Amino acid sequence: MSSDTHDEPSDEAIVEAASDAAEGVILSRYKQSDVTDLDVTVRFESGTLEIDVYLNAPDEPDPDAVAREAIEAAEAAVDELFENA
């Protein structure tokens, strides 16, 4: 299969990769049953990526720190998509 190196990932692929990466980080830090509420919102419009993570989980590890890690992982996943395009 040949691919054109100038093809950029679709908006849908970007949102999915970012969401999957963010959720993956969170669920690697907590058991799913310990997470009271989780909302990962990803938007990619006009070349701008917006990621919001709301996490209600036990205090260990720190939910704010885990949410920041999740956002960083989402950004890295999108960067990787563009690097491999």
Instruction: Answer whether residue 57 is part of any domain.
Output: yes
- What CATH number is associated with residue 60? 3.30.300.100
pLDDT band at 1 (very low <50, low <70, confident <90, very high): very low
Instruction: Answer whether residue 6 is part of any domain.
Output: no
Q: What is the reported pLDDT for 85?
A: 85
DSSP, residue by residue, 8-52: PPPHHHHHHHHHHHHHHHHHHHS-GGG-SEEEEEEEEETTEEEEE
* Domains contained in the chain, number: 1
Q: What is the reported pLDDT for 40?
A: 97
Instruction: Answer whether residue 5 is part of any domain.
Output: no
Q: What is the reported pLDDT for 7?
A: 86
Average pLDDT over residues 27-33: 95
pLDDT in tens, 31-84: 999 999 999 999 999 999 999 999 999 999 999 999 999 999 999 999 999 999
Instruction: Answer whether residue 76 is part of any domain.
Output: yes
List the domain range (segments joined by +) for residue 51.
11-83
Instruction: Answer whether residue 2 is part of any domain.
Output: no
Secondary structure (3-state) at 74: helix
Instruction: Answer whether residue 4 is part of any domain.
Output: no
Instruction: Answer whether residue 68 is part of any domain.
Output: yes
Instruction: Answer whether residue 17 is part of any domain.
Output: yes
Q: What is the reported pLDDT for 6?
A: 63
